[in-house]
Amino acid sequence: MGKSREIKLRMKAVGNIKRITRTMQMIATAKFSAAQGRAVNARPYNEALFGLVNELAAGGGLSHPLLEEGADGARELTLVISSDRGLCGPYNGNIVKTALRVFREEQTARAGDVEVVGKKGLNTFKFNAIPVSAHHVIGDTPRYEDVERLAQRYIERFTSGEVRRVRVIYMKFISAGQQRPEILQLLPLTPPPAKDKGDAEQSSGAGVEYELSPKGPELLAELLPAAIKSLLFQAFNDAVVSEHVARMIAMKAATDNAGKMGKALSREYNRARQAQITTELTEIISGAAALE
């Protein structure tokens, strides 16, 4: 009797866990759908913006402080984007592992300024005795105004010579089934090259002559800060959607495992109950036979 009661309590606990994980999976799925739309819809704008920056910087022979290497004596700045909550599988572990590898291979990065988004990354760096100069709170839905202020501060520190390089370590969203840790060099800005000639012509509109107003230097001075802010905002959007899809997958796996455990406990309970009934029947028959 005691064993069957214990199994019954375990079945109830597993059922409660299954309901919780299924609810968390549904919430993560809804958040993932919204975040995916924001991340994917911003990419065409970023590609067009970087295509125009590439044409201005390369075709016109123009230069800008945001495109040039910083002073050798200045510090490096590394921004690590993690999550505030756990239960998202290997998401935070992969990001932190990538950051620790960078700090291990490049002492200048470890000796520089380290800024963190999310409590999980902050706690890991404290455990590994890595000083964190700033901790930012962005939330599940990054606002462009908050990211813009952060990017503007990086631009001002870079142009003043306080930092020589700004890099961002985050989880890049490729598709619902693929995300990978990415090391993005934000400053000095290095726009991604086109994949091939056909892609470059298609994305930048090659073969079409544009009349630019204002002229190249003024336009480049306006576009470069906008490109940096847009690039950082895209990194935050990718990190958020990657977190949601990782949590969705982790909670689905937990729900499936809870279901399998519930079925196994149900079979074990039925066997224990059957053994108990058999024992009781045997005792009744033995008692009746003793009275004869």
Kindly indicate the confidence band of residue 207, based on its pLDDT and cuts at 50, 70 and 90: very low
Q: Which amino acid is at 30?
A: A
pLDDT computed for residue 196 by the predictor: 47
Q: 194: which DSSP letter?
A: P
Kindly indicate the confidence band of residue 41, based on its pLDDT and cuts at 50, 70 and 90: confident
Look at 138 and 183; give whichever has higher pLDDT. Answer: 183
pLDDT computed for residue 2 by the predictor: 62
Q: Which domains, from first to last, does the chain contain? A: 2-26+250-286 (1.10.287.80), 45-249 (3.40.1380.10)
Say if CB 67 and CB 188 are below 8 A apart.
yes
Length, in residues, of the chain: 292
**CA-CA-CA-CA torsion sign (202, 204, 209, 210):** positive
Which contiguous run of DSSP H or E holds residue 128?
none
> Average pLDDT, whole number, for the chain?
85
pLDDT computed for residue 163 by the predictor: 93
d(CA 77, CA 179): 24
